[in-house]
Amino acid sequence: MIRTATKEDIDQLIRLRWDFTMEYDVDGKLKNENYDDFYIECRGFLLELFQSRKWYVWIAEEDGIILSNIYIELIHKVPRPGRITYPFAYMTNVYTKPDYRGKGIGSNLISHINDWAKKSKYEFIIVWPSDEGVDFYKRNGYEHCKEPMELNLD
């Protein structure tokens, strides 16, 4: 089943975010991180997320277990004369549990999001994929675009 997440999903979403981050920590830099500390921070973020109208978390679940999630943040633009201004969507935290990859779950989830964004008249969806994720996004209709400019504030 595909749906948007609710507050009742918070514990599972926190665990998925933790697992996602730890899975890609190949250098072991995060091995001493404390799950309880992370849980508190992430729970606060998710509680605010669910109160806003700027974020949506889409999930694929089976028997109440979340198998995959995709976070969407709406970015509102300053209105312009002569046209209706719709937001664009920033896609992040795209993750499917390892045992469920390669079964079309992520593609089905992103297809639902693409349809939802089109029906909602969002201008476009942007995502910064990992090298491993590029083929997944290409299979689902995404194309490379010019890189944005950034100012690194570190």
- pLDDT at residue number 153: 86
- pLDDT at residue number 93: 93
Q: What is the pLDDT of residues 65-120, one digit of tens each?
A: 999 999 999 999 999 899 899 999 999 999 999 999 999 999 999 999 999 999 99
Domain ranges of the chain: 2-139
Tell me the mean pLDDT in the region 112-132. 93
- Check: CB of residue 51 under 8 Å from CB of residue 7: no
Q: Which residue shows structure tokens 């974020």?
A: 55
- pLDDT at residue number 6: 95
- pLDDT at residue number 31: 84
Tokens of 3: 């749906």
- Check: CB of residue 70 under 8 Å from CB of residue 40: no
- Check: CB of residue 2 under 8 Å from CB of residue 58: yes
Residue 17 reports pLDDT greater than 90: yes
Residue 15 reports pLDDT greater than 90: yes
pTM: 0.90
Residue 139 reports pLDDT greater than 80: yes
* First vs last C-alpha separation in the chain: 41
CB atoms within 10 A of CB 126: 14
Each residue of 59-95: b (16+ CB within 10 Å) or e? Answer: bbbeeeebbbbbbbbbeeeeeeeeeeeebebbbeebb
Q: Considering the domain 2-139 in this protein, what is its CATH number?
A: 3.40.630.30
- pLDDT at residue number 151: 84
Q: What is the pLDDT of residues 24-68, one digit of tens each?
A: 878 888 888 889 999 999 999 999 999 998 999 999 999 999 999
